C-alpha cells in the first residue's frame, strides 16, 4: 500500500548503502562530484545503524542490493552490464546478481510444482536436481522428463516474491512523487509513469504462463535467424508458478576465459548479439528485453542461446520506423534529419528550433565517429544527452523505456566481449536493411495492401456505414431529384479507393 509509511523503506535504503560501505563504492564508480559525496555522507551517516547488514562475505554493492530485495537486485543486474559506466571491477562483482543469488530449498520447490501441476514431482521427472541457478524472481532446476528422457530446465518462482516486489515498488512510487513535488523541472521525465511502467513489466514477469507464451512467440519469430537458438517450451509441465523449457547447454556469455578456451570468436559474438537485438526490435517489434550475460550462452557450434523470457519488449510499426530513422540518421551523421524525425514524431515541442536541436545532436554524435571505443565515456555521453533533452523540453517516452534500457544493456554485453566494438558500424547493415524494407516505395505498397485488406473486410458494409453517416448529417432531407443514394455512395467508395491508388502511385513513381 502506497503512503508516507514508505519513507521508512527509503531511509533504510540509504542506511543500508552506508552500513555496507556501498555508498562510497557507488559514488566512486559514478565519479560523483564532491558536493554530492558530502551530502550523501551527512544524510546517510546518522541513520547508518538502521541499515540492513547483509552478507559480510560479499562485496559492498552486491551485499547492499541483495539485502534490500528483488527490485534493487534488478537495478544491480543492469549495472553489471555496463563496465564502461561503473568500471570493470564493479561490473564483475555485480554479475553474481544475475543468477548466483541464495536459492530456496528443493523441498519448497517440489511442493510448489506439485501444487501447480497437481502431480507428484517423482511422476513428472525421473531426476530432479538441486538449484543450478537462482535469480531475483525464480530459480532453476535441471531435470529429466519421465516420459521421454529429455533433459529440461524447470523454473520455479520464489515464495512470496510478489509481496516483496510490491513493497519495493511502493517505496519507489513515494520517491518518484517526492521528486516531482520537490523538483517541478523533473516532471518532464515522468518519474511516476516510469515506475508504473517498471511495475507492469515486473508483475508480468511473475506469471510464468505469460513468459512461456512469450518464449513460444519469440521462437516462432526467430527460427530462421542464423547463429541463434531458443529452448522450446514444454507446455504440459508449465503453469503460473512453474515453467519448463528444453535444457540450454553452452558456455555462459559472460565468461570470457571459458569462451576463449572453447575457441569462440568473441569479436564475432559481440557483433552478433547486437545485430540480433536490432533485428528482433526493428524487424519483429518483439525482443528479449533482459539480454544480460546471465540469460545468454554460447553453444558448442557457436550459436548464441537466449533464455529467461520474463521481460519481453514490444513496439508498434510506426515507433519502429521512427527509431530506425533516428539510428540511421546518426549512422549517416545526418543530424538535421534526426532532428526533423524528433519533431515529426512529437518527441520535441513544435515551438522549439529544429536547426538548433540538430546542432545539439551533432555535439552528441560527432565525438563517437572516428574515435577508439575505449576512449568514449558512456556516462559522460548520457549526462550530456540529459542536458540536451532538458534544454529542449523533451519528455520521457514511456513506450520507449524498455527499448532504450535494453539497448544500453545489449551494448554493455557486446562491449564486455569486445571493448573496441564500434556500435554504429555494427548496427549499420541491420538498420539499412530495415530502412529499405519499411521506408520507401516498397513500404508504401505494403501499407496500401494492408489498407485494401481492411477495406475488403468492410466492403459489404461500407455503403451502409457511409449512408448512415450521411443521414446523421442531414443528407436524408435533400431533394429526391438527386441520384439514388446507394448509387452515389458506391461512387464515393470507388473514389476513395481510386484516390488511394493514385496517392500510392505518386509515392512510388513520383
Q: How many residues does the chain have?
A: 510
Residue 233 is classified by DSSP as: B
C-alpha 206/C-alpha 223 separation (Å) is 26
290 is catalytic: yes
Distances 463 to 140, 459, 474, 477 between C-alpha atoms, Å: 58, 8, 17, 18
60: buried, middle or exposed (CB in 10 Å: 19+, 13-18, 0-12)?
A: buried
Write down the catalytic residue from 290, 303, 334, 447. 290
440-449 long-range contacts (CB < 8 A, ≥24 apart) are 441/507, 441/508, 441/509, 444/504, 444/507, 444/508, 445/504, 445/508, 448/500, 448/501, 448/504
Strand, coil or helix: 305: strand
Hey, what's the cell of 489? 455512395
- Nearest 5 degrees, angle CA 152-CA 156-CA 159? 165
Q: Are 22 and 90 in contact (CB under 8 A)?
A: no
Element (H, E) at 229: strand 228-229
Q: What pairs with residue 287 in β-bridges?
A: 313
Total H helices, total E strands in the chain: 24, 10
| CB neighbour list of residue 250: distance below 8 Å, 6 or more residues apart | 297, 298, 299, 300, 305
Radius of gyration of the chain, Cα coordinates, nearest whole angstrom: 27
Element (H, E) at 304: strand 304-306
Distances 114 to 62, 85, 110, 150, 454 between C-alpha atoms, Å: 33, 44, 6, 20, 47
| CB neighbour list of residue 396: distance below 8 Å, 6 or more residues apart | 188, 189, 190, 193, 194
Return the number of other C-beta atoms located less than 10 Å from residue 343's C-beta: 15
Give all strands of the β-sheet with 296-298 in edge-to-edge order: 228-229, 304-306, 296-298, 251-252
Strand, coil or helix: 244: strand
Could you write out the DSSP letters of every residue in 111-160? HHHHHHHSS-HHHHEEEEEEEEEE-SSEEEEEEEETTT--EEEEEEEPTT
Q: Are 357 and 389 in contact (CB under 8 A)?
A: no
State the catalytic residues.
290
Amino acid at each position: 500500500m502506497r503512503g508516507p509509511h514508505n519513507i521508512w523503506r527509503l531511509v533504510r535504503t540509504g542506511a543500508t548503502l552506508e552500513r555496507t560501505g556501498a555508498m562510497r563504492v557507488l559514488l566512486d564508480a559514478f565519479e560523483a562530484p564532491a558536493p554530492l559525496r558530502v551530502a550523501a555522507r551527512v544524510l546517510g551517516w546518522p541513520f547508518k545503524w538502521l541499515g540492513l547488514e547483509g552478507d559480510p562475505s560479499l562485496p559492498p554493492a552486491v551485499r547492499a542490493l541483495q539485502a534490500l530485495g528483488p527490485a534493487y537486485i534488478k537495478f544491480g543486474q543492469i549495472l553489471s552490464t555496463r563496465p564502461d559506466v561503473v568500471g570493470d571491477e564493479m561490473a564483475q562483482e555485480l554479475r553474481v546478481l544475475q543468477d548466483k543469488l541464495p536459492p530456496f530449498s528443493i523441498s519448497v520447490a517440489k511442493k510448489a510444482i506439485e501444487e501447480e501441476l497437481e502431480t507428484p514431482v517423482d511422476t513428472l521427472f525421473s531426476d530432479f536436481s538441486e538449484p543450478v541457478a537462482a535469480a531475483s524472481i525464480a530459480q532453476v532446476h535441471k531435470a529429466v522428463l519421465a516420459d521421454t528422457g529429455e533433459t529440461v530446465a524447470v523454473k520455479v518462482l520464489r515464495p512470496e516474491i510478489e509481496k516483496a516486489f510490491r513493497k519495493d515498488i511502493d517505496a519507489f512510487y513515494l520517491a518518484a512523487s517526492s521528486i516531482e513535488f520537490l523538483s517541478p523541472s523533473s516532471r518532464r521525465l515522468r518519474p511516476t509513469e516510469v515506475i508504473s511502467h517498471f511495475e507492469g513489466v515486473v508483475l508480468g514477469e511473475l506469471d510464468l504462463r505469460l513468459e512461456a507464451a512469450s518464449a513460444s512467440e519469440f521462437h516462432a519469430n526467430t527460427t530462421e535467424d542464423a547463429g541463434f537458438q531458443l529452448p522450446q517450451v514444454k507446455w504440459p509441465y508449465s503453469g503460473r508458478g512453474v515453467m519448463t523449457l528444453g535444457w540450454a547447454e553452452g558456455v555462459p556469455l559472460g565468461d570470457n576465459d571459458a569462451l576463449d578456451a572453447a575457441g569462440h570468436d568473441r569479436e564475432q559474438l559481440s557483433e552478433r548479439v547486437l545485430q540480433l537485438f536490432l533485428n528482433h526490435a526493428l524487424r519483429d517489434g518483439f525482443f528479449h528485453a533482459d539480454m544480460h550475460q546471465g540469460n545468454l550462452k554460447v553453444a558448442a557450434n557457436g550459436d548464441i542461446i537466449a533464455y529467461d523470457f520474463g521481460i519481453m519488449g514490444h513496439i508498434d510499426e510506426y515507433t519502429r520506423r521512427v527509431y530506425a530513422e533516428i539510428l540511421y540518421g546518426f549512422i549517416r551523421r545526418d543530424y538535421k534529419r534526426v532532428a526533423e524525425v524528433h519533431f515529426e514524431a512529437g518527441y520535441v515541442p513544435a515551438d522549439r528550433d529544429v536547426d538548433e536541436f540538430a546542432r545539439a545532436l551533432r555535439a552528441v554524435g560527432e565525438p563517437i565517429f572516428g574515435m577508439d571505443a575505449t576512449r568514449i565515456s558512456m556516462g559522460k555521453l548520457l549526462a550530456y544527452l540529459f542536458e540536451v533533452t532538458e534544454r529542449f523540453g523533451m519528455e520521457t517516452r514511456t513506450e520507449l523505456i524498455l527499448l532504450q534500457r535494453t539497448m544500453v544493456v545489449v551494448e554493455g554485453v557486446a562491449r564486455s566481449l569486445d571493448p573496441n566494438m564500434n556500435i554504429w558500424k555494427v548496427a549499420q547493415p541491420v538498420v539499412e536493411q530495415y530502412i529499405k524494407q519499411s521506408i520507401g516505395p516498397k513500404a508504401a505498397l505494403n501499407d496500401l495492401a494492408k489498407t485494401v485488406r481492411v477495406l475488403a473486410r468492410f466492403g459489404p458494409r461500407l455503403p451502409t456505414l457511409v449512408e448512415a453517416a450521411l443521414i446523421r448529417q442531414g443528407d436524408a432531407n435533400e431533394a429526391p431529384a438527386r441520384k439514388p443514394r446507394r448509387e452515389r455512395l458506391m461512387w464515393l467508395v470507388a473514389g476513395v479507393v481510386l484516390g488511394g491508388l493514385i496517392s500510392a502511385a505518386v509515392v512510388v513513381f513520383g
